[in-house]
Structure 1
């Protein structure tokens, strides 16, 4: 399946001139029910309210070690470093992310179809799903740089043409996440508010935004409003834990100046009923390795 040539009605306008607004979300956070997968009713209700949920021990210690060795192999591959799918740290040049990793790594390709992962994605989104984006993230000790507050959906809507926030991300920790080594922060409940952003998307913006995003970020005033209303939670826990979070939740991470690195596998599932159209606020879609336009449902 390929990119749809037309756009559907834009319920979430962004990258606008003038003053940004906070827009009430018109779509559900959870689309499926308890009978649709392994997540119990209480956890689904909590995910619906907060926009995220944590699965501790999704991977065993032995599996964590296997995936960690795979990340080391990938980051040490000199031939791969020349690939455009590899993003390096802006200042230090170390590998920051490797995109489309489920196609590069057979091991991670199997993970996206693992029932522990795939069945939860289907349940939350209430449909068959495909991989919109996959990557591994490396945050080294002492000099790992974080990401400013943002909504993934704002970017995927504006630059990839994702019509609605019917997508969910799964971040699987391969290292222990402490409160002090750059762990992900989220604003619980913020997924129910779409935060418009001001500014025009430059051509080929992804080449710089994957290292440091300046367009498509909310104003400090809007961040303050959401923080006052929602508060801030942080994802901490041992390696092997998984954080499932809504595409529109406001989140970010700080720099890591500790000796403890932080790495994770990041998988984005999108509903096949939410296939990409033309970008809503960009002249052309980002490359396929960042926002996939192959909407073939995943199968085991």
Structure 2
């Protein structure tokens, strides 16, 4: 089976995928610009520490987003939104159902701010210094439009289809432009050349169903929110790897003789490496704890 594309360095961005679609951001966090004849959409918002890089990239491309689309409300996909909203105040915000409730939960704000600060410092440590401080408040979604069902944005000469999915996060929506799928974290976390880590935080069965949905689309290009796109044979292989990795993880949890605490420690040692170290240890520990819980639920 072909290996997914090798690591794409941050100097490769902006990265054109077609005459209409460009990847923005850096190696660690990717945003997707879709330019039509009349309208422009930006799918994903990233974190505060990369906002000014994205704004410079948009200026370089002479692009002003009419739509800012949030794939889901996890910190690494939404904390860049306040800076983008400030720079592009006329852009319409699109979010999935459940996003507002997620970020306004009493525990969400402090965790979101802490994670944004840690990730921004992580970019600085990797030679990608932020040009602004981390967020101080959660994003304002009071005027956001909710995407509850499949919804098509006619950008003029090209359509961007948005559709809700489940399994990874509340309020999760994916995007589709012709042969490309913007899949957020729904295929898993990609370690280029080293495989995937599953991310079924809200439901393992639902996550596998979403992967099957993506696979049925047979996209030529798969665009996760991190570490660059997968093209052609690597796209096909990447989707299947996401499915296989999730199934192996579930099987491992159901067959293990370890206690949950022992398994959590083992999983942390295996997963907290490479690009995952952009996140706090507490975050990855909690993620693995959730994965164990969801794996046990599907096996019950």
* Superposition TM-score, scaled by structure 2 size: 0.26
* Superposition TM-score, scaled by structure 1 size: 0.26
Task: Name the one with the larger helix percent.
Answer: 2
